[in-house]
Amino acid sequence: MTLSEKLKYCRTQKKLTQAQIAVQLNVSRKTISNWENARSFPDIASLRKLSNIYNVSLDDLLQDSHLIDANSLQKNHFNAKVIKLTYCLNIVFCILAYFEFFNFKFPHIPIIFFLLLSNLIVYTYYLFHFLSWNIFKKYLLIYIFLFIILFTLYTFLNIFFIGTSDFLIHADPYFIFGFSFGRLILILGVTLSSEVILLFKTHP
């Protein structure tokens, strides 16, 4: 299937008119018609919006070798629901992790971090069904830059707040090592979770 054929097929499967799609994309109905009849082609921003509307990955839309049928649309719809659910759960787990982040006097609850990490893994796995690798590479430097900023910020906050506490002075070395390692893992988890909230939505 060509791109134009896929666009028309996905729209009809969603039972949407060209006019309805045009309104969502803020373009004319004739523009949608031109795309579906191969007289012109949408830009990458419009393709991303279309993939969101149709619950179809950019790879499926752009690669002629990728066929789209009712089963694949149903699968993509399920993937989109998983992404939305895991994104919302990530916000909840991130808030819980922040509470742990400022906990310096009591043992940490490791289940929060493991839930956060497991949820991020599921979210990332299903996200890459929609996110084209080429688009990911385009913004890779932004992801890395934001990660470094957040990780540095949380690390300094951690050092500052621990510096105001004297409970570690009387602790044994094993406890200090375990506590420090746990803090590092917690900072890593909070950083990744915060980056997902800031840079991604329920759908790329």
- Sequential DSSP letters for 152-195: HHHHHHHHHHHHT--TTTTS-HHHHHHHHHHHHHHHHHHHHHHH
Report the C-alpha gap between 10 and 54 in whole angstroms: 6
Q: Is 58 within 8 Å of 132 (Cβ atoms)?
A: yes
| 133 and 164, same domain (yes or no) | yes
- CATH code, 31: 1.10.260.40
Over pLDDT 90: what percentage of the chain?
8
Domain limit, last residue, from 36, 68, 100: 68
- In the structure, what pLDDT confidence band is assigned to residue 189 with cuts at 50, 70 and 90? confident
| 115 and 188, same domain (yes or no) | yes
Higher pLDDT, 82 or 103: 82
Kindly report the pTM of this predicted structure.
Answer: 0.59
| 60 and 91, same domain (yes or no) | no
- Nearest CA among 149, 161, 158 for reference residue 186: 158
Which pLDDT does position 28 carry in this prediction?
92
| 172 and 96, same domain (yes or no) | yes
How much is the CA Rg of the chain, to the nearest whole Å? 22
Lowest mean per-residue pLDDT among 40-44, 50-54, 182-186: 182-186
| 15 and 81, same domain (yes or no) | no
Domain limit, last residue, from 35, 68, 101: 68
* pLDDT surpassing 50 at residue 55: yes
Segments forming the whole domain that contains residue 51: 3-68
Higher pLDDT, 68 or 40: 40
Which pLDDT does position 64 carry in this prediction?
65
Domain limit, last residue, from 68, 90, 117: 68
| 94 and 157, same domain (yes or no) | yes
Alpha-carbon separation of residue 161 from 104, 115, 155, 156, 176 (angstroms): 8, 25, 10, 9, 15
| 94 and 150, same domain (yes or no) | yes
Residue 107 lies in a domain: yes
Average pLDDT, stretch 70-86?
74
Alpha-carbon separation of residue 99 from 102, 114, 150, 201 (angstroms): 6, 15, 17, 23
Report the C-alpha gap between 111 and 176 in whole angstroms: 20
| 81 and 151, same domain (yes or no) | yes
Which pLDDT does position 43 carry in this prediction?
87
Count of domains forming the chain? 2
| 75 and 172, same domain (yes or no) | yes
Count of C-beta atoms within a 10 Å radius of residue 154: 19
Which pLDDT does position 175 carry in this prediction?
72
Residue 78 lies in a domain: yes
Q: For residue range 1-36, list pLDDT tens digits in order.
A: 788 888 888 888 888 899 999 998 999 999 999 998
Which pLDDT does position 204 carry in this prediction?
46
Q: For residue range 141-152, list pLDDT tens digits in order.
A: 888 888 888 888
| 64 and 128, same domain (yes or no) | no
